[in-house]
Amino acid sequence: MILDRRALLAGLAATPFAGQGKRLYADDFRQGLKRWAIEAEKPAAVMARDGVLDIVAPAGFTAWFKPELVGSVAITYQAQAVSEGGAFDRVSDLNCFWMAREADGGSPLDHPRSGAFADYDTLRTYYVGQGGNTNTSTRFRRYVGRPGDRPLLPQHDHAAADEMLAPNRWTTVRLIADGQRIQYWNDGRHLFEHNDSQPYTRGWFGLRTTQSHLRIRNFEVFKLVPAGR
């Protein structure tokens, strides 16, 4: 069954889709955290230095990128799950929201949350939790803006060991919001594909984790242009 699913994803990825165009935003984390809004359930150690965003989060944590993203975009960054003996070096929860908005259409930046995971149920957003539940699950969800409702389709609940996080290794994440086509890529592997008949076409990106130590670098957002242009 895993082979069948991978063959299906490979086929979907091979069909024509928008290509990468102009770079819209970038952050090399050499100018501090002025482009990010932090929400932390418990005090977190967050530092931007030498081109790396270093996050030690004892509980729920979200860092929102402040500019709104509109239209077809690709979001890319590199991440590392740190395992160096620290209290929260758990190798777990490389998570993200993208195209996130409040249920009423507003900005999540205007409604700060505590950082607790359940507080984000009221968003309309795409979400992936890679290496969640102490690095045993990788899941895609399309949030619908209702408290207590985090829809999870069976095909979007993965448990393969090679889709989890490897300690102390940089991995490249690529998120796609291209009209109805929603994708999550990791190190060039196409982990999730969702065809959304009512897509979220504008919103905010949020880096999410809990009880972990992550490092992030080379954050970029690109406009996507129609195939053949």
Of 75, 116, 70, 124, give the one whose Cα is nearest residue 208.
116
CATH architecture of the domain covering 2-223: Sandwich (2.60)
Measure the CA–CA gap between 74 and 192, rounded to whole angstroms: 14
Of 151, 208, 199, give the one whose Cα is nearest residue 176.
199
| Overall size of the chain counted in residues | 229
Report pTM: 0.91
Instruction: Let me know: does 75 contact 211? Beta carbons within 8 Å.
Output: no
Q: What is the pLDDT along the chain (229 residues), one digit of tens a residue?
A: 333 444 444 444 444 456 889 999 999 999 999 999 999 999 999 999 999 999 999 999 999 999 999 999 999 999 999 999 999 999 999 999 999 999 999 999 999 999 999 999 999 999 999 999 999 999 999 999 999 999 999 999 999 999 999 999 999 999 999 999 999 999 999 999 999 999 999 999 999 999 999 999 999 999 999 865 5
Of 118, 46, 64, 57, give the one whose Cα is nearest residue 86.
57
